[in-house]
Structure 1
Amino acid sequence: MPATASFFTDLVRTRHSPRQFLPTPLPAMDIRGILEDAQTAPSNSNTQPWHVHIISGAARDTLSNELLKAYEEDQTSPDFTSDYGEGIYRERSHQHAAIVYGARGVERSDREGRTEVIRENLRFYGAPHVALLFMPVLGDGVRTAGDIGMYAQNFLLSLTARGYRGIPQAVLGVYADTVRKSLGVDDELKLLFGIAFGIGDQTSPMHDINMGRIPLQQSVVVHDTPGVLDNR
């Protein structure tokens, strides 16, 4: 394997989503470099539809407090649904939740403990920075959301390459109106999700959770491409 391919393989396969960060802010030039890396993402007809807000410091604290208030008052305002259906996708979501709560030692019957996990999410797991990813509504929005997904992956891999960590947070999109109001964002821009980022707290049991991935045979079908899915 060429050295460059080996580097990328190591990079992409070691990227993970920690759920606890150190409060140490990242250097401004590193954040700029990460944004420049993310900006190279492909997009449909080069539309580059991402609108990104980076929040830190007092702005981060204010938004977190407003999100917690919206959560306590059950003031949700999602721009997009979060329906996993009734099949395998819902099962995987339940497995994910069991791993997260289990790592925190929270039993299924511990209602307050489970609520605190949600609060930690809205505190951005202690991360000093958050990227909020907004999108314009173009057609049905599917291609635009796909473009922003590629932008986000660039962002996450650039973090990893620099020794930092990030975690996508779909829950932030559940409170889209709260976020827009806090940041002064136009209602026409829809909040897809956010990415909390910084230096992962390696002493935390929440840092190295391994969610696992399904085998290729469960997600890939090959046509006239022999050997790809052979057992190794």
Structure 2
Amino acid sequence: MITPADFQELVRTRRVARQFLPTPVDSELLVALLLDAQHSPSNCNTQPWVVHIVSGAARDLLSNALPAADERGDLTPDFEFDMQSYTGVHAQRAQFSGRACYEAINVARDDQQGRLAAMQHNLSFFDAPHVALLFMPHIHDYVRSASDVGMYAQTFLLSLHARGLAGIPQTLLGLYARTIREVLGIREEMKLMFGISFGYADPQSLANFVAVGRAPLSESVIQHC
């Protein structure tokens, strides 16, 4: 029986990793992770997620193709994304998170080269040996299916943490949807939301010990009695 204390520990100690060891995840363990995630809830049990796990030679091929696409300015997101759309408290939270991450790896605010290198590290999956790419088919306005994919991602991330691994959701990968489809031979009708790079976190990397905190409940929850 899982106790509330066990669940609290799992949820509240999960962190993203921004530097991984090259050690691959054992195939049996990978199947266990995916089976956990497959039990995520979804609207009317539609389970709209289609997940591509990229490892080994395919992962290396993709990690070469993405920087090349970025250099060409070949951004082909399936879904609109613009950080400038975040304003007020949401922008403040994003800015605080970004500042904490850069400070952890000693990249100054005016260090444009350092910031560019840190951004491009996304495109090599932070050296993780695996990346899970979360696709879904076109279903109406995508909103319900997108929420289902989000629940899948959370279950997958918690399963990683419970088993001594780590992951990082990467919205940036979704900006290169066409490149990813072409490299992996994925049908055009499958739309990419984002990716999760995962594996064993590097315990020596300061990038893996960033605490960004959470907003108080008073900013997020309104109770009606």
User: What is the TM-score when the length of structure 2 is the normalising length?
Assistant: 0.96
SS for the counterpart of 2:207 is coil
Aligned to 1:220: 221
Q: Cα distance, 1:85 vs. partner?
A: 3.0
Tell me, which stretches of 5 or more residues in structure 1 are unaligned?
225-232
Q: Cα distance, 1:3 vs. partner?
A: 5.5
Count residues in correspondence. 223
1:107-131 per-position Cα deviation (integer Å, ceiling 9, x unaligned): 1221111110011111111110100
How far apart are the structure 2 equivalents of 1:157 and 1:151? 10
Letter in 2 for 1:104: I
Aligned to 1:230: none
User: What is the TM-score when the length of structure 1 is the normalising length?
Assistant: 0.93
Tell me, which stretches of 5 or more residues in structure 2 are unaligned?
none
Q: Percent identity?
A: 51
How far apart are the structure 2 equivalents of 1:157 and 1:217? 25
Aligned to 1:140: 141
How far apart are the structure 1 equivalents of 2:100 and 2:190? 33
1:71-123 per-position Cα deviation (integer Å, ceiling 9, x unaligned): 11211111112233332212222222111111111112211111100111111
Aligned 1:170-185 pairs, distance under 5 A? 170-185=171-186
SS for the counterpart of 2:135 is strand
How far apart are the structure 2 equivalents of 1:108 and 1:97? 10
Instruction: Establish whether residue 13 from structure 1 lines up as the match of residue 12 from structure 2.
Output: yes
SS for the counterpart of 1:206 is helix
Aligned 1:4-153 pairs, distance under 5 A? 4-83=3-82, 84-153=85-154
1:39-83 per-position Cα deviation (integer Å, ceiling 9, x unaligned): 001111111000000011111111011001111121111111223
1:170-225 per-position Cα deviation (integer Å, ceiling 9, x unaligned): 1000111011111111111110000000000011000111111000110000112x
Letter in 2 for 1:90: A
More helix by share: 2
SS for the counterpart of 1:23 is coil
Letter in 2 for 1:85: Y
Aligned to 1:195: 196
